[in-house]
Amino acid sequence: MSVRKNNIKKVLVIGSGPIVIGQAAEFDYSGSQACASLRAEGVEVVVVNSNPATIQTDNDVADIVYIEPLRWDVIEKIIEKERPDGLIATMGGQTALNLAVELHEKGVLEKYGVEILGTGIESIRLAEDRGKFKELMQKIGEPVPESIAANSMDEAFEFAREHAFPLILRPAYTLGGTGGGIARNIEEFERLLELGFNLSPAHQVLVEESVLGLGEFEYEMIRDSYDNCITICNMENIDPMGIHTGESIVVAPSQTLTDDEHQMLRSAAIKIIRALKIEGGCNIQFALDQKTGKYYVIEVNPRLSRSSALASKATGYPIARVAAKIALGLGLHEIRNAVTKTTPAAFEPALDYCVIKIPRWPFDKIPEGDRTIGTQMKSTGETMAIGRTFEEAFGKALRSIEVKKPKIRPEDIEYHLTAPTDLRIFAIMEALKKGWSKERICHLTNIHPWFIDRIENYVMVELRLKREPFGRKLLHEAKKHGYSDEQIASIIGHEAEMVRQMRKKAGILPAYKMVDTCAAEFAATTPYYYSTYEEENESIPSCKRKMIIIGSGPIRIGQGIEFDYCCCHAAFALREMGIEAIMINNNPETVSTDFDTSDKLYFEPLTYEDVMNIIEHEKPEGVIVQFGGQTAINLAQKLEMSGVKIVGTPAEGIDIAEDREKFKQLLHKLEIRQPENATATTEEEAVAAAAKIGYPIIVRPSYVIAGRGMQIVYDEESLRNYIKEAVEVSERRPVLIDKYIEKAIECEIDGVADGERLFVGGIMEHIERAGVHSGDALNVVPCVRLKKAVQEKIIEYSEKIALALGTIGAINIQYVVQNDVIYVLEANPRASRTMPFLSKAIGIPLIKLATKVIVGKKLSELGMREMPKLKHYAVKGVVFPFLKLPGTDTVTGPEMRSTGESMGIDDTYPAALWKALLGAGLKIPESGGVAISLKDGDKERAAPLAEELEKLGFVIYATPTTARFLPPNTNLLKKIADGEPNIISEIKKGKIHLVFNTPKRGRIANTDGFKIRRTCLERNIPCITSFEACEALVEAMKEAREKKISVERANEYGKDKKRQS
Amino acid sequence: MEPEKKAVLVLAEGSIFFGHGFGALARRVGEIVFTTNMTGYEESLTDPSYAGQILVSTYPLIGNYGMHADHRESKKIQIEGYVIRQLCSAPHHAKSNSSLAKAMETEGIPGIYGIDTRKIVKIIRESGVMPACISVYEKEEDIQELIWMAKNLDYSKINFVERVSQKEVLRYGNGNKKVVLIDYGAKFGIIKELTSRGCTVIVVPYSTTAEEIETYGPDGILISNGPGDPALLGKESAELKKLFDYPMFGICLGNQLLAQAVGAKTYKLKFGHRGGNHPVLDIKKNKVVITTQNHGYAVDEKSLPVEFEVTHRNLIDNTIEGISHKELPIFAVQYHPEANPGPYDSKYLFDEFVKQL
């Protein structure tokens, strides 16, 4: 503990809520680092977050945890209960920052005497209010692009008349550039302006003169209360201005700046951070005209950000840890760098490597989304790679991102370069291979020629491998340029294993270098490594008992922060047992890649080769693959074939569970039902099988992750279309067909098996009807609809299946129940995305339990027997990325589309549900109009809903066919084609505040339903697309109205009742 | 196409590194040192304080933005050889008019790239700075010769200042204040900082006596940076003592010479401070500045006479980074407030100096 100026004893840290595009795992990373840092100073830490899949909401990370919706009125209740001395607003992204401002404005902070620690409200306002920020910059003589913070359409249009297009529009106080864009003409301008005013909480839009195409540079800065300022890192966006930094490929440190240019920007950054009086971390963006040397200040994030997570991982400097101590009043010179233990926190990291970050986009899951990239974030995650040269880091990043190399047709290259799209980097490589001139590529992309040279240098190796005779020298060259064995093998037409063996025989092995913040100037103790093909290997394997945990790579739809949470817990559990935990991962946002989560961290791609190299170097007792999502699972078989010991469920069990035929046989043997199913390798086979099974069916390609390409099909014609358009069918890639069990309840269990028994953590019942992907479904634990006997049967089946698969560790099994008949949908003998949620719901850390079992403990030894009986309810809410992805429909279905989850926890089901929905960001109205437009089958059941809503004081609107089933005073709306009033017109008039719209058949663009849903989305009006969810919402609204919803420490729910009974 | 250049680097402790060559075909010896600056290679190469040294850049990607006279800290490349991980042979910058390799070739300096520079840095860190030999060649090189040279090189008695100091008196700017800059190997940056603050700068050779300096009628004296062991400059520091009537500002070697002038001792650091990221605490203000450093020697605190006080300290190893006379307007810092390369945090020191004139 060090000496602090103030006497803060208890601090509230606000988290960032569910993962959404633009706000992901980085805030769990900064938040949990801050918690540890504050506690080390003797401060009691209270955390509030609605996202259960976060390390910061673990009971051993914070002292007191609230899993509650992130709304100011909810946080007021927490403040009232806990009475913290201070609040830290800069660790939870834009969400926490906005909440802090709101709490201040509502007088809550003053009322309870809560001090804002670190960067204060005034600084936040100065940085976030576009008008004030511009004024401040002009005052201190820092250049900004001409702009106006428009509070009205008129103001904006006046500016547009005086300045040439393109113009940049940005709504104030939104995250990840939501609603922002580039207007190239007056029509686009008007559309973006309207959207911006709707989305900005302050009803303000910044309209700005364009700096498109200029170089984009970021400075990660820290300032303390002594006015000491340092730069942690500068970063250069390869994609120039006009592309959000979250969407850009970014390199650290800057590569094209001379020292005087770098110092000019660094000095400006210091001037700005001082003028803003930031106390903590902050990120400053500049645009630089590299022809003239003139720069502009673009914006400041007065908080920890995705960039600061990247900068932390890129440099080894723990920004959040230091920022938290600064918030307590410590100076940079009074803080030691916990990473190196040798340097003070007042030290600017020196890198002796090159870092590249590449975003990961969701277009593989949402193919109809508009693939162009710009000022609004669309990517869900990112990967980072470290190399001693740009080329090496680039090659490693390209394999870490885990996307199949796209085929780009020559005629499309120019489109991808200029639009640009997410495929631009691949298009550049393709263009270089096709012999395009570098000047032309630079001209079309505005990318600095230095980067095009480097990419050319990278691509040249491929051409050399094609043309020149293969040998040891060329192999070594290729490795130094970041090529994988597999890549080399496919270029020269050999097996990857052959290249690998030759390489090893030739002694071409990776060396592991340390990320030490100081370029080896001082001896550091950081256990953080990356590979390169050089002489000295700095990673010395210990002779302790050790295991490797394979991480889950970049965050994507279907593989989110939940798996990172699992990997962290596995590391914690191993360390608790005195086993050295070695982590391999490449996601810079996460806690798993924090330097002290594991005993040793390898920041590497997660391919067979990269992982195997580490295994051969470290020689661990075993490798754990069951926590890293599909990324890790995909490696299991190959690793096992290479003689690696996979601890936990053997690869065979994983294979049986993933192979439909083998799994079918297993269930048959166990006498457990499964929806009728078949496998087809041709279109005709599929049609025949479907006829036999009977429509509707669910079709999907084999070996799927997160329901990719999955669809419910109702007739032969649609089936034929699906096969032609959506998937490739072949012997090797069959299509899977399942009977779609209608009008049924879906549910799933998460548990831990030790080979003898299965401990079921809980049965999570889906609130929507079967057919919604489990990742997208709202679910509740304990069950509210399934009968006790059915639940018992499910537990019995689960144990049978888990044991038959040889499960050692975590398992998730999904069921569908129709008229009390239980069918198994799938079994996944590994960690599922619901495990963190369920662990928090039942108060048992399932992943730690699984890890201990993997290492050899028995469930009985660990005291785990019956499924816990809860006296409270937990509901999982979900968050979708549709607002960020124009052109997408918002209907949920068998394909997973959500990015994140929230958790609502309370003593009653409706209250928990209400919290889950609020936590997921749903704006539930308290009065106003509700529009109802339902499909056949739902309409008939809608009357009680409408009546209930009327009782709550809502005005009901409905389309003609739905209205027939509703009470007589329902206001009639026309179909959109028949003119006004219709749902859209009334939404625009502000009469409607909630929409129930259940679509007939999945997502079809340009239907009325699609237009309605998009309109709701853009106006932030909740639109519920499943009837069961509508029912649940009404119930929750009723509960919220009748009973005051209260807050409780997360581990206190259910306990009061016990005391009462 | 030119034949490919090969290169080898031999360290006195025995390590040998084979790599690619760039710059001049030449064999050179020198003290091997490293800098952690990530930008500003041209400023470093031309910094006279590096005279007699073979420089290793810890940052691996060098040459990216080419060369330009504006980035020079003296008229020529001063180092004996340059050791880097990756060379950029096709630089891009609006101002660039040459590549690093071309400039080194023209000025006769050999360079090596494509070797494990981090390993070299760690050797220097563990064993201290040491003699080394670098050679760029086309066909073959006699390694035994290089080893012999590296092992037998003794530069401890060489007066590098003699090599880099101006031979004649030069005058810059025409402001109201007159500053005599004693040139022990001064960087252009120092002169620029003074002229931009309204000073006329008279640059005099390092061997100029106190009497001669007084004839210029200075308002203040700047004791510049420079290469090598300050202990070799006993006579010169004795002259400084005679000039205590004038406001004085010492930079780097200037700091050591000022200390020597009042009887303090200096000692050699194991591997010096070279880079642009060292935190220095301004003791009076209790504030941190991030500084540019380039020195192999430090002032021994115990030997500092009472009339001087320590004003700045290195936050990493606690060494003296600045001293000041308790009464007279005489002060010095061990780091480089003129930057080039490095942060501008300390430029205020020039303001303070000029204020005292």
Q: What is the CATH number of the domain that holds B95?
A: 3.50.30.20
Q: Nearest CB to B64: which of A255, A263, A521?
A: A255
Pick the CATH number of A676-739 from 3.30.565.10, 3.20.20.70, 3.30.1490.20, 3.30.960.10: 3.30.1490.20
- B115 with B30, same domain: the answer is yes
From chain B, the residues in CB contact with A266 under 8 A are 343-344
Predicted pLDDT at A999: 81
Contact A258 B39 (CB under 8 A): yes
Q: Which of residues 140-199 of B touch A (CB under 8 A)?
A: none
Q: How confident is the model at residue A1060 (pLDDT cuts 50, 70, 90)?
A: very low
Chain A interface mutation, best of B93, B286, B312, highest count of A Cβ atoms under 10 Å: B93
Predicted pLDDT at B346: 96
Tokens (6 digits) for A970: 């329902």
Integer Cα distance of B182 and B213 in angstroms: 9
Predicted pLDDT at A682: 87
For residue B172, pLDDT over 80 is answered with yes
**Shortest Cα–Cα distance, B55 to chain A (Å):** 14
Tokens (6 digits) for A65: 């945890």
Contact B340 A227 (CB under 8 A): no
Q: Which range, of A768-777, A956-965, B8-17, averages the lowest pLDDT?
A: A768-777
**CA neighbor of B57 nearest in space, from B78, B75, B39:** B39
The helix/strand/coil state of A361 is coil
Q: What average pLDDT does the structure give for chain B? A: 96
The class (CATH top level) of A143-354 is alpha beta
Contact B93 A534 (CB under 8 A): no
Q: How confident is the model at residue A129 (pLDDT cuts 50, 70, 90)?
A: confident
The 3-class secondary structure across B15-36, one letter per residue, is CEEEEEEEECCCEEEEEEEEEC
Strand A229-237, strand A250-252: pairing? antiparallel
Average pLDDT of span A838-854: 97
> Do A408 and A426 contact (CB within 8 A), yes or no?
yes
From chain B, the residues in CB contact with A522 under 8 A are 125, 316
Integer Cα distance of A54 and A61 in angstroms: 10
Average pLDDT of span A117-142: 92
Chain A interface mutation, best of B89, B290, B312, B321, highest count of A Cβ atoms under 10 Å: B290
> Do A26 and A306 contact (CB within 8 A), yes or no?
yes
Give the residue numbers spanning the domain of B112. 6-152
Predicted pLDDT at A144: 93
Integer Cα distance of B263 and B257 in angstroms: 10
Active site residue B141: no
The interaxial angle of helices A660-670 and A788-804, nearest 10 deg, is: 120
The per-residue pLDDT for range A448-479, each reduced to its tens digit, is 999 999 999 999 999 999 999 999 999 999 99
Predicted pLDDT at A1: 44
Predicted pLDDT at A464: 96
Predicted pLDDT at A884: 64
Q: Which of residues 79-98 of B touch A (CB under 8 A)?
A: 85-86, 88, 90-95
Integer Cα distance of A349 and A808 in angstroms: 43
For residue A177, pLDDT over 70 is answered with no
Tokens (6 digits) for B324: 């000041």
The helix/strand/coil state of A354 is strand
Predicted pLDDT at A886: 65
Question: Which residues lie below 8 Å from residue B66, measured CB to CB, with a gap of 6+?
Answer: B91, B92, B93, B95, B96, B97, B98, B99, B100
Predicted pLDDT at A436: 97
Predicted pLDDT at A703: 53
Chain A interface mutation, best of B15, B92, B281, highest count of A Cβ atoms under 10 Å: B92
Sign of CA dihedral A285, A288, A293, A295: negative
Residue B296 DSSP one-character state: E
Predicted pLDDT at A1041: 86
Nearest CA in chain A to B43: A259
Single-letter amino acid, residue A831: A
Contact B39 A257 (CB under 8 A): yes
Q: How confident is the model at residue A708 (pLDDT cuts 50, 70, 90)?
A: low
Q: Which of B104, B130, B152 marks a domain boundary?
A: B152
- Long-range CB contacts (within 8 A, 24+) of A429-432: A429/A455, A429/A458, A429/A459, A432/A456, A432/A459
**CA neighbor of B342 nearest in space, from A283, A282, A311, A267:** A267
Q: How confident is the model at residue A1020 (pLDDT cuts 50, 70, 90)?
A: confident
Contact A536 B119 (CB under 8 A): yes
Q: Distance between the two ends of chain B, CA-based, in angstroms? A: 58
Contact B276 A348 (CB under 8 A): yes
**Shortest Cα–Cα distance, B211 to chain A (Å):** 38
Question: Which residues lie below 8 Å from residue B292, measured CB to CB, with a gap of 6+?
Answer: B37, B275, B276, B278, B335, B336, B339, B340, B341, B342, B343
ipTM of the complex: 0.98
Q: Is A457 exposed, middle or buried (0-12, 13-18, 19+ CB in 10 A)?
A: middle
Contact A259 B39 (CB under 8 A): yes
Integer Cα distance of B207 and B226 in angstroms: 13
SS percent in chain A: helix, strand, coil, step 5: 40, 20, 40
Single-letter amino acid, residue A306: R
Tokens (6 digits) for A1046: 């209260």
Strand B308-314, strand B266-282: pairing? antiparallel
Contact A258 B276 (CB under 8 A): no
Q: Nearest CB to A350: which of B58, B279, B316?
A: B58
Integer Cα distance of B134 and B193 in angstroms: 35
The per-residue pLDDT for range A652-701, each reduced to its tens digit, is 999 999 888 899 999 999 999 999 998 888 889 999 999 999 999 988 87
- B165 with B148, same domain: the answer is no
Q: How confident is the model at residue A1057 (pLDDT cuts 50, 70, 90)?
A: very low
Distances in Å between the Cα of A235 and the Cα atoms of A252, A300, A1014, B61 are: 5, 14, 36, 15
Integer Cα distance of A1024 and A927 in angstroms: 17
B284 interfaces chain A, CB cutoff of 8 Å? no
- B190 with B331, same domain: the answer is yes
- B137 with B190, same domain: the answer is no
Q: Which of residues 311-330 of B touch A (CB under 8 A)?
A: 315-316
- B244 with B129, same domain: the answer is no
Q: How confident is the model at residue A1007 (pLDDT cuts 50, 70, 90)?
A: confident
Residue whose structure tokens are 């928090």: A840
Contact A535 B116 (CB under 8 A): yes
Residue A978 DSSP one-character state: G
Average pLDDT of span B2-26: 95
Average pLDDT of span A722-729: 70
Predicted pLDDT at A883: 64
For residue A1058, pLDDT over 70 is answered with no
Predicted pLDDT at A667: 97
Integer Cα distance of A168 and A945 in angstroms: 44
Q: Domain A10-117 adopts which CATH fold?
A: Rossmann fold (3.40.50)
B257 domain residue, yes or no: yes
Q: How confident is the model at residue A731 (pLDDT cuts 50, 70, 90)?
A: low
Q: What average pLDDT does the structure give for chain A? A: 91
B349 interfaces chain A, CB cutoff of 8 Å? no
B1 domain residue, yes or no: no
Sign of CA dihedral A862, A865, A869, A874: positive
For residue A1005, pLDDT over 60 is answered with no
From chain A, the residues in CB contact with B188 under 8 A are none
Average pLDDT of span A870-885: 84
- B146 with B192, same domain: the answer is no
User: Is there a common fold for A10-117 and A900-1042?
Assistant: yes
**CA neighbor of A373 nearest in space, from A421, A302, A428, A314:** A421
Predicted pLDDT at A888: 66
Predicted pLDDT at A707: 46
B69 interfaces chain A, CB cutoff of 8 Å? no
- B244 with B272, same domain: the answer is yes
The per-residue pLDDT for range A502-552, each reduced to its tens digit, is 999 999 999 999 999 999 999 988 889 999 999 999 999 999 999 999 999
Strand ranges across the sheet with A181-183: A147-150, A205-209, A167-171, A181-183
Q: Distance between the two ends of chain A, CA-based, in angstroms? A: 44
Average pLDDT of span A809-822: 96
Integer Cα distance of A780 and A875 in angstroms: 4
Q: How confident is the model at residue A706 (pLDDT cuts 50, 70, 90)?
A: very low
Other beta carbons less than 10 A from residue A829's beta carbon: 27
**Shortest Cα–Cα distance, A73 to chain B (Å):** 41
The per-residue pLDDT for range A179-216, each reduced to its tens digit, is 788 898 999 999 999 888 888 888 889 898 888 889 99
Other beta carbons less than 10 A from residue A449's beta carbon: 17
- B49 with B112, same domain: the answer is yes
- B165 with B117, same domain: the answer is no
Q: Nearest CB to A258: which of B71, B117, B345?
A: B71
The helix or strand, by DSSP H or E, that contains position A1010, with its residue range, turns out to be: helix A1008-1018
Integer Cα distance of A1017 and A1008 in angstroms: 14
> Do B95 and B123 contact (CB within 8 A), yes or no?
no
Q: How confident is the model at residue A566 (pLDDT cuts 50, 70, 90)?
A: very high
B326 domain residue, yes or no: yes
Query: What is the biggest distance separating any 2 CA atoms in chain A, rounded to whole angstroms?
Result: 84
- B174 with B121, same domain: the answer is no
CATH hierarchy code of domain A900-1042 = 3.40.50.1380
Predicted pLDDT at A444: 96
Predicted pLDDT at A174: 72
Strand A86-88, strand A115-117: pairing? parallel
CATH of the domain at B329: 3.40.50.880
> Do A858 and A759 contact (CB within 8 A), yes or no?
no
The per-residue pLDDT for range B91-150, each reduced to its tens digit, is 999 999 999 999 999 999 999 999 999 999 999 999 999 999 999 999 999 999 999 999
Strand B248-251, strand B199-205: pairing? unpaired
Single-letter amino acid, residue A479: K
User: Please, which residues bridge with residue B313 across strands?
Assistant: B281, B320
From chain A, the residues in CB contact with B277 under 8 A are 347-350
For residue A780, pLDDT over 90 is answered with yes
From chain B, the residues in CB contact with A262 under 8 A are 39
Segments making up each domain of chain A, as ranges = 10-117, 143-354, 676-739, 745-870, 900-1042
- B191 with B332, same domain: the answer is yes
Strand ranges across the sheet with B170-172: B170-172, B199-205, B177-183, B220-223, B248-251, B330-333, B320-325, B308-314, B266-282, B287-299
Sign of CA dihedral B59, B63, B65, B71: positive
Domains: count for chain B = 2
Contact B39 A293 (CB under 8 A): no
Q: Which of B99, B133, B152 marks a domain boundary?
A: B152
**CA neighbor of A220 nearest in space, from A71, A355, A378, A359:** A355
Question: Which residues lie below 8 Å from residue A1004, measured CB to CB, with a gap of 6+?
Answer: A889, A1010
Indicate which residue of B71, B199, B252, B278 is catalytic.
B252
Integer Cα distance of A777 and A120 in angstroms: 39
Contact B342 A263 (CB under 8 A): yes
Q: Nearest CB to A519: which of B36, B278, B344?
A: B36
Active site residue B199: no
Q: Domain A745-870 adopts which CATH fold?
A: D-amino Acid Aminotransferase; Chain A, domain 1 (3.30.470)
Nearest CA in chain A to B35: A521
Predicted pLDDT at A365: 77
Q: Is A573 exposed, middle or buried (0-12, 13-18, 19+ CB in 10 A)?
A: buried
Tokens (6 digits) for A837: 């949620």
For residue A705, pLDDT over 50 is answered with no
Q: What proportion of chain A, given as a percentage, has pLDDT over 70?
A: 95
Q: Is B151 exposed, middle or buried (0-12, 13-18, 19+ CB in 10 A)?
A: middle
Integer Cα distance of A640 and A657 in angstroms: 17
B34 interfaces chain A, CB cutoff of 8 Å? yes
Residue whose structure tokens are 């996601």: A587
- B249 with B128, same domain: the answer is no
Strand B86-87, strand B61-62: pairing? parallel
**Shortest Cα–Cα distance, A539 to chain B (Å):** 13
The per-residue pLDDT for range A76-89, each reduced to its tens digit, is 999 999 999 999 99
> Do B326 and B299 contact (CB within 8 A), yes or no?
no
The helix or strand, by DSSP H or E, that contains position A550, with its residue range, turns out to be: strand A546-550
Q: What proportion of chain B, given as a percentage, has pLDDT over 90?
A: 99
Active site residue B252: yes
Q: How confident is the model at residue A1011 (pLDDT cuts 50, 70, 90)?
A: confident
Contact B59 A522 (CB under 8 A): no
The per-residue pLDDT for range A570-592, each reduced to its tens digit, is 999 999 999 999 999 999 999 99
| pTM assigned to the model | 0.94
> Do A517 and A340 contact (CB within 8 A), yes or no?
yes
Residue A1029 DSSP one-character state: H
